[in-house]
Amino acid sequence: WGLGYYRFSPSWVALGAVGYLTYTRMRQKRALISGALKAIGLNEKQSILDNIGAHELPTWVYFPDVERAEWLNKVIHRMWPFITDYVNDILLKTVQPTVNGCLPASLQPFTFQRTDLGDTPPRIGGVKVYTEESIRRDEIVMDVDVMFYSDARIKVSVGKIIAGVKDFELRGTLRVLMKPLVPKIPFAGAVTVCFLDNPYINFILTHAGNLLGLPGLQQTLNRTVQDAVSSLCVLPNRISVSLVDDVSMAHLKFPSAQGVLRIQIVSASDLVASDIRIVGKKII
């Protein structure tokens, strides 16, 4: 009755209903995927027994040269409460003052109202260590399958606006390079880490951030986060930490090319016409 009284078109009601249903379906699908992935993170063995043939099985199931690292997962599980305390301390004492120093006065203060990383620690799905046949003698190269399906709850306030993130998820293959090896403690001159491909990242926005979870905006936000991660630590970008004084950081971040590959196309067939032309012939 109210819509008719104010002469709103019925098409607006239909459009709103379609938008709400689309948003609800997206949330339900995301919750279903998150539940399955969290089950793997919490109890990998039982998940494998219950879901033989699932596409989310760890890499050591498929590849014989990838080893399990259950002992490392147990260590991470024991250390996780202390790691969360350390991260919370950094967020409150380092990140919060830094952000406040960069924000204009109209958006201050920036405050972490809640910093809970949750009780579920990251898991290592498998580790592959490369042998001497494929690497140099002065380096150690490992590919680590990282899975993090957390029940984290983080809430921040920017001025009078409150927004938050919960149920953060990440999965990807992390390349760990220890180079060069040196004859003194810690026996590695530097450690370099990067993702081989764009990792899977998902999260749920809360409070004012719910506005960005609407259909269309959520995909844009996910692409923005993926681009930020890619520019930081997805090959060829990498994060390097020097462990000794006489190691060149520039050489670690921008290593010399191993060689040059030249490809000459001889012929091609059955190509799909994907160019847009008003006049002229299409390339087939």
State the pLDDT confidence band at 250, using cuts at 50, 70 and 90: confident
267 occurs within a structural domain: no
Q: Tell me what pLDDT residue 53 has.
A: 47
Residue 68 structure tokens: 């399990």
30 occurs within a structural domain: no
pLDDT tens-digit map of 76-118: 999 999 999 998 888 888 888 888 887 787 777 888 888 888 8
Alpha carbons 276 and 173: distance in angstroms, whole number: 37
9 occurs within a structural domain: no
What is the longest distance spanned by two Cα atoms in the chain? 83
pTM: 0.66
262 occurs within a structural domain: no
pLDDT tens-digit map of 160-185: 788 888 888 888 999 999 988 989 88
- Residue 159, sorted as left (phi over 0), alpha (psi -120 to 50) or beta, turns out to be left
pLDDT tens-digit map of 192-245: 999 999 998 888 877 765 565 556 666 777 777 888 888 888 988 888 888 888
Average pLDDT over residues 241-268: 83
37 occurs within a structural domain: no
Q: Which H, E and C letters describe 235-274, residue by residue?
A: CCCCEEEECCCCCCHHHHHCCCCCCCCCCCCCCCCCCCCC
4 occurs within a structural domain: no
277 occurs within a structural domain: no
66 occurs within a structural domain: yes
Q: Tell me what pLDDT residue 145 has.
A: 92
Specify the number of domains making up the chain: 1
pLDDT tens-digit map of 22-61: 666 666 666 666 665 555 555 555 555 455 444 455 565 5
Report the C-alpha dihedral over residues 40, 46, 49, 52, rounded to 10 degrees. Answer: -10
Residue 183 is part of which domain span? Answer: 59-253
